[in-house]
């Protein structure tokens, strides 16, 4: 899925999330992001929890964990952006055309020469429904993440201790 925004903000990230939820033909179970501040905004994380989506930011200095995104962005830079004017009034139309081509017609080496659509179609019967994903979502296991990794690790340890303590008292 593609969209262009003028700035990296929590509001734009929320807008992109809404577009993804509307467009994806399957429920989103988790989102993995880099450590951009826009993803750590309370409003963004709370919306993920509202939709029963797990938030999994990558560890610092771990670009390999975001490899699929990096590869997709490289393909966009090499094959799409040289063909468009980012200020053109038809940019949203061109983005939609590129997205359709990328997902439905362009073979991907990482998918054995298949398109993402072909792979999704093959796996569609294995994909859980939204209600199943929502039923399996454990809200108590999720928490608001802190953007500073060392602080987030400390908060995770505290969260685990309080969960364990709560389980022992019940």
Share of the chain above pLDDT 70, in %: 99
Rounded mean pLDDT of the chain? 93
Q: Which domain holds residue 47?
A: 10-142
Q: 160 lies in a domain?
A: no
Q: How far apart are CA 115 and CA 9, in angstroms?
A: 31
- 2 in any annotated domain: no
The reply to whether 24 falls in a domain is: yes
Number of domains in the chain: 1
Residue 151 in any domain: the answer is no
Looking at the domain assignment, is residue 124 inside a domain?
Answer: yes
Compute the distance between CA of residue 165 and CA of residue 25 in angstroms, rounded to an integer: 40
CA 165 – CA 146 distance, rounded (Å): 22
Burial (0-12, 13-18, 19+ Cβ within 10 Å), 57: buried
Q: Residue 166 domain-assigned?
A: no
The three-state secondary structure class of 118 is helix
- Position 121 scores a pLDDT of 93
Which spans in the chain are helix H? 10-23, 37-40, 42-50, 67-75, 91-100, 116-123, 130-136, 149-169
164 within domain boundaries? no
Confidence of residue 61 (pLDDT cuts 50, 70, 90): confident
- The pTM of this model reads 0.86
pLDDT at 65: 80
What CATH number has the domain bearing residue 117?
Answer: 3.30.420.10
Residue 121 located in a structural domain: yes
């Amino acid at each position: 899925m593609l969209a262009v925004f003028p700035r990296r903000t929590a509001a734009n990230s929320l807008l992109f999330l809404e577009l993804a939820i509307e467009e994806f033909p399957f429920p989103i179970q988790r989102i993995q992001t880099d450590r951009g501040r826009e993803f750590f905004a309370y409003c963004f994380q709370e919306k993920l929890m509202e939709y029963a989506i797990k938030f999994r930011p990558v560890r610092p200095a771990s670009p390999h964990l975001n490899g699929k995104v990096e590869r997709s962005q490289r393909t966009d830079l090499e094959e799409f952006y040289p063909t468009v004017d980012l200020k053109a009034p038809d940019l949203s139309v061109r983005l939609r055309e590129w997205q359709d081509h990328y997902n439905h017609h362009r073979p991907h080496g990482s998918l054995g020469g298949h398109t993402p659509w072909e792979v999704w179609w093959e796996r569609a019967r294995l994909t859980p429904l939204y209600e199943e994903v929502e039923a399996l979502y454990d809200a108590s296991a999720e928490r608001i993440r802190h953007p500073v990794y060392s602080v987030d690790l400390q908060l995770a340890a505290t969260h685990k201790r309080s969960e364990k303590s709560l389980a022992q008292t019940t």
